[in-house]
């Protein structure tokens, strides 16, 4: 998760830098002001005594490195935002480990925002596999229950399973009355 936050911050910083460079690429010429008309526009002039950039490709190289370093992170999500049941336990749904993902994943469903009320915990799904129905640990009441679904990718590190990445979504679980 720490690496994911770093990648998000790095991507955001790079995006801001790109936006700044795009804004610097086209600068409006200031309109001439008559002496009797006050100027409300701030115009920043060019700095003097500067030198040329030593490596004009430095920014592109940094972006390429950042993108290369972030490969393999992020989860492609495939799911339906609503699940349906007649009895509150057995639900028709769709939760998948998208084919383009590189890691196995498991799915956990929680009935509360604190992620303490576990309603369902799957085994591992290989990329390209999905659930189209699940059975919860306990029945939900009639009506709509908003649940949190955690998609968690797993990798093997030093012979041990470890969390590679995780994404949380909200899903409505509908139980007919």
Give residue-wise pLDDT tens across range 139-173: 999 999 999 999 999 999 999 999 999 999 999 99
Which structure tokens are listed for 89? 């336990």
pTM: 0.61
User: Are residues 95 and 158 both part of a single domain?
Assistant: yes
Using DSSP, state whether 13 is helix, strand or coil.
helix
Better-scored residue on pLDDT, 123 or 64: 123
- Mean pLDDT throughout 46-56? 75
User: Are residues 170 and 115 both part of a single domain?
Assistant: yes
Mean pLDDT score of the chain, rounded to an integer?
81
**Number of domains comprising the chain:** 2
Q: How confident is the model at residue 68 (pLDDT cuts 50, 70, 90)?
A: low
User: Are residues 81 and 168 both part of a single domain?
Assistant: yes
What is the model's pLDDT at position 48? 84
Q: Is the pLDDT of residue 112 over 90?
A: yes
What is the model's pLDDT at position 18? 52
Q: How confident is the model at residue 34 (pLDDT cuts 50, 70, 90)?
A: low
User: Are residues 104 and 147 both part of a single domain?
Assistant: yes
Which of 69, 87, 104 delimits the end of a domain? 69
User: Are residues 18 and 97 both part of a single domain?
Assistant: no
Between the CA of residue 163 and those of 9, 103, 129, 155, what are the distances in Å?
Answer: 20, 10, 19, 6
Domain assignment of residue 128, given as a range:
77-175
């Amino acid at each position: 998760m720490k690496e994911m936050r770093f990648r998000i911050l790095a991507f955001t910083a790079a995006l801001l830098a790109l936006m700044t460079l795009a804004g610097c690429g086209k600068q409006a010429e200031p309109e001439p002001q008559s002496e009797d008309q006050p100027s409300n526009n701030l115009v920043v002039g060019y700095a003097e005594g500067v030198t040329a950039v030593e490596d004009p490709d430095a920014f592109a190289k940094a972006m390429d490195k950042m993108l290369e370093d972030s490969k393999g992170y992020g989860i492609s999500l495939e799911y339906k935002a609503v699940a349906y049941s007649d009895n509150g336990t057995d639900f028709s749904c769709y939760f998948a480990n998208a084919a383009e993902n590189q890691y196995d994943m498991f799915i956990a469903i929680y009935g509360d925002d604190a992620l303490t009320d576990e309603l369902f915990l799957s085994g591992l799904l290989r990329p390209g596999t999905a659930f189209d129905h699940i059975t919860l640990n306990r029945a939900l009441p009639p009506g709509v229950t908003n649940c949190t679904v955690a998609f968690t990718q797993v990798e093997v590190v030093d012979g041990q399973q470890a969390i590679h990445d995780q994404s949380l979504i909200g899903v409505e679980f509908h139980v007919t009355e």
